[in-house]
Amino acid sequence: MDPFRIDEIARRLLESLPPALRSVQQDLESNFRAVLRATLGKLDLVTREEFDAQAKVLERTRAKADALEARVAELERALSASAPRGGDTGAAR
């Protein structure tokens, strides 16, 4: 995770502390950062760029799947329209 974001989260945590605890601000800030880095480092996260790239791939894949579904439906309609009617399978007895 971006160190700037960790620092921002640590800062927000510090701001939420009661004024009496702010006297130990430096120690708390260091501890907050260490805990956040350790905890967030264990998470299986991807970057925004990786996420956006995969979202684009998924969007293209969905478009292709939709096009293929439409084509299959079209071919099924054409096949059923050209199929013999009345149960005649074309086999002579």
The Cα–Cα gap between 71 and 40 comes to: 46
Cα torsion 19, 25, 27, 32: sign? positive
Which pLDDT value is given to residue 7? 81
| C-alpha closest to that of 39 among 12, 74, 11, 1 | 1
Handedness of CA 48, 54, 57, 61 (dihedral sign): negative
pLDDT, tens digit (0-9, with 9 covering 90-100), for 6-49: 788 878 887 887 777 767 777 877 888 888 888 888 888 888 89
